[in-house]
């Protein structure tokens, strides 16, 4: 399929709205993406025509709801090339997926003898979670520094026979750097460590193939990939899921209950206690389909060309500094930046007046942001509907902000 950004923009109703009297320039995609009309319509269609609980009734609506819910699981499997849709667990978001792995796998498999390796660029969700596991089990938490990119020998120095888990971001939400998972997995296998990939920033923006990468766990959120909020995914290898205990208890996750005991349901339902986010799952399937129609290679290419263009423009600006500008290869559509004098918060407010939405703050990665000697940064992040012209608007607004404030 030919990638045509103007055609794609027509699918996103929100891009027609004005913000402070200006056309919306939405550059906060790493926080959450906008939604195409067909995703929005699918939520409405579910409640208008098919609403019923899943896996319960014999009536037609329940059958339709169940089919649509399970079909979405298959669409997600297709998106990440997962061989068996029983490996796909619906959660609330990437954060809940991480907590599920921490509770149901890590706490049962790690001891004070073990260690976990994460990077220094993790989102708080893939950092605090393991700090807590470390606190509860006494295991060691080790940090791989990727501020200057991934260095295989650094990783070799950190990993040992006691490493049970390597939990790394696939793409940093601050640096935009894409971690070479294909270099991590072989070494992790050698030491019999499991590999968890935080795909919150990668799955929406590039091809991610769990089979080719041979990873054990993958977590991501729907809302960053054109889907709704409140639903996320855990992918895990089947043998791991089989051995893991349930995360939550209740309806749907049981096979048989007596007053004394209960038997767990088969996968994936063992991990989906209670009535799930049915419309959320269905519309996430629609979002995955939308992305697959465009082609993840095309998504990546488009964002790459915008990011390259934006980085060139940023280098021409005085007083603006891109965080992690030293790494230029394997870079996704995220540009975090600071100004020598103007605080990100002021930049954010001034840009908002121009209709330009960016993120300001610590981006849920406080230790990483602080390691660059700042307490906050501004961030522009791109997606399929962003254009080079919007980058020009951003850069012009930044220059205006400087003239206004300094």
Partner 1 sequence: MNMSGLSGSDDLNGMYEDIILDHYRNPRNTSSLSKPDLELDVNNPFCGDELKIQLNIKDDTITGVSVSGQGCAISQSSGSLLAERIQDSSTDTVIHVIEKVRKMMKDEPISDDDLDLIGDIEALQGVKKFPVRIKCALLGWSALEDLIKKP
Catalytic annotation, residues: 364
> How far apart (Å, rounded) are the C-alpha atoms in residues 56 and 258?
19
CA dihedral 190, 191, 193, 199 (to 10 degrees): -50
304 binds partner 1 (CB under 8 A): no
CB of 354 to partner 1, least distance (A): 6
The reply on whether position 365 binds partner 1 by CB under 8 A is no
In whole angstroms, how close is the CB of 359 to partner 1 at the nearest point?
11
Nearer to partner 1, 44 or 345 (CB): 345
Verify binding: residue 127, partner 1, rule CB under 8 A: no
Phi–psi pair at 261, nearest 5 degrees: -160, 170
- Residue 58 phi, psi (nearest 5): -95, -5
Q: Cα(327)–Cα(318) distance, rounded to whole angstroms?
A: 20
Which part of the chain contacts partner 1 (CB under 8 A), choosing from 76-84, 209-217, 303-311, 371-379? 371-379
Report the C-alpha gap between 64 and 118 in whole angstroms: 42
Q: Quote the least distance from Cβ 362 to partner 1, whole Å.
A: 6
Of the candidate spans 178-186, 239-247, 325-333, 357-365, the one that interacts with partner 1 by CB under 8 A turns out to be 357-365
Which of residues 249 and 404 has its CB atom nearest to partner 1 in the complex?
404
Rule CB under 8 A: is residue 195 a binding residue for partner 1?
no
Closest by CA to 68, choosing from 287, 274, 278, 292, is 278
- The footprint of partner 1 on this chain (CB under 8 A) covers a number of residues equal to 26
State in angstroms the smallest separation of the CB of 348 from partner 1: 9
Integer angstrom CA distances of residue 114 from 118, 140, 168, 344: 14, 6, 17, 40
DSSP 42-72: HHHHIIIII---TTT--SHHHHHHHHHHHHH
Per CB under 8 A, does 374 bind partner 1?
yes
- Does residue 396 touch partner 1 according to CB under 8 A? yes
**Contact flag: residue 265 with partner 1 (CB under 8 A):** no
Answer yes or no whether residue 191 interacts with partner 1 by CB under 8 A: no
Among 361, 371, 372, 387, interactor with partner 1 by CB under 8 A? 361
Beta-bridge mates of residue 18: 23
Taking the complex as a whole, the smallest distance from the CB of residue 123 to partner 1 amounts, in Å, to 15
In the 8-state DSSP scheme, what is residue 102?
Answer: I
CA 49 to chain CA centroid, Å, is 31
The interface region with partner 1, picked from 39-47, 113-121, 285-293, 336-344 by CB under 8 A, is 336-344
CB–CB of 148/119 below 8 Å? no
Contact between residue 90 and residue 272 where contact means Cβ atoms under 8 Å apart: yes
The window from 25-33, 103-111, 177-185, 355-363 that contacts partner 1 (CB under 8 A) reads 355-363
| 20 neighbors 353 (Cβ within 8 angstroms) | yes
User: In what helix (H) or strand (E) does residue 117 lie, and over which residues does it extend?
Assistant: strand 115-119
- Residue of 99, 265, 354, 381 that binds partner 1 (CB under 8 A): 354
Q: Which of 349, 367, 388, 389 binds partner 1 (CB under 8 A)?
A: 349
When binding is defined by CB under 8 A, the residue of 343, 357, 372, 387 that contacts partner 1 is 343
Cα 330 to Cα 120, 171, 176, 280, 327: the distances in Å are 17, 9, 8, 31, 8
Which of the stretches 87-95, 119-127, 256-264, 367-375 binds partner 1 when contact is defined by CB under 8 A?
Answer: 367-375
Q: Which is nearer to partner 1, 154 or 400 (CB)?
A: 400
Provide the binding-site residues for partner 1, judged by CB under 8 A.
22, 342-346, 349-350, 353-354, 360-362, 366, 369, 374-376, 396-397, 399-401, 403-405
């Amino acid at each position: 399929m030919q990638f045509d950004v103007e055609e794609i923009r027509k699918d996103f109703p929100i891009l027609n709205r004005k913000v402070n009297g200006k056309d919306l320039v939405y550059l906060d995609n790493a926080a959450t993406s906008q939604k195409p009309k067909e995703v929005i319509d699918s939520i409405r269609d579910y409640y208008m025509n098919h609403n019923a609980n899943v896996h319960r009734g014999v009536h037609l609506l329940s059958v339709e709801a169940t089919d649509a819910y399970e079909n979405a699981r298959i669409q997600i499997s297709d998106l990440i090339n997962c061989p068996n849709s029983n490996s796909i667990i619906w959660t609330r978001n990437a954060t809940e997926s991480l907590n599920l792995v921490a509770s149901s796998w890590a706490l049962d498999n790690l001891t004070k003898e073990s260690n976990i390796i994460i990077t220094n660029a993790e989102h708080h969700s893939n950092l605090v979670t393991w700090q807590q596991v470390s606190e509860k089990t006494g295991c060691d938490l080790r940090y791989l520094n990727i501020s200057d990119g991934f260095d295989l020998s650094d990783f070799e120095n950190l990993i040992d026979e006691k490493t049970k888990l390597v939990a790394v971001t696939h793409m940093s939400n601050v640096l935009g750097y894409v971690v070479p998972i294909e270099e991590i997995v072989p070494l992790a296998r050698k030491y019999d460590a499991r590999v968890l990939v935080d795909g919150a920033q990668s799955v929406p923006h590039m091809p991610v193939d769990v089979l080719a990468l041979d990873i054990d766990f993958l977590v991501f959120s729907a809302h960053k990939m054109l889907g709704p909020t409140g639903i996320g995914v855990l992918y895990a290898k089947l043998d791991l899921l089989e051995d893991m205990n349930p995360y939550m208890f209740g309806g749907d996750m049981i096979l048989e209950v007596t007053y004394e005991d209960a038997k767990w349901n088969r996968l994936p339902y063992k991990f989906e206690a209670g009535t799930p986010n049915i419309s959320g799952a269905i519309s996430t399937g629609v979002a995955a389909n939308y992305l697959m129609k465009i082609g993840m290679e095309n998504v990546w290419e488009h964002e790459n060309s915008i990011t390259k263009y934006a980085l060139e423009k940023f280098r021409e600006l005085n007083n603006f500094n891109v965080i992690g500008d030293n790494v230029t290869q394997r870079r996704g559509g995220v540009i975090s930046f600071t100004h020598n004098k103007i605080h990100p918060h002021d930049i954010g407010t001034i840009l908002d007046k121009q209709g330009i939405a960016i993120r300001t703050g610590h981006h849920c990665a406080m230790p990483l942001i602080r390691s660059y000697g700042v307490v906050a940064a501004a961030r522009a992040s791109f997606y399929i509907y962003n254009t080079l012209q919007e980058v020009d608007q951003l850069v012009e607004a930044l220059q205006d902000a400087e003239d206004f404030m300094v």
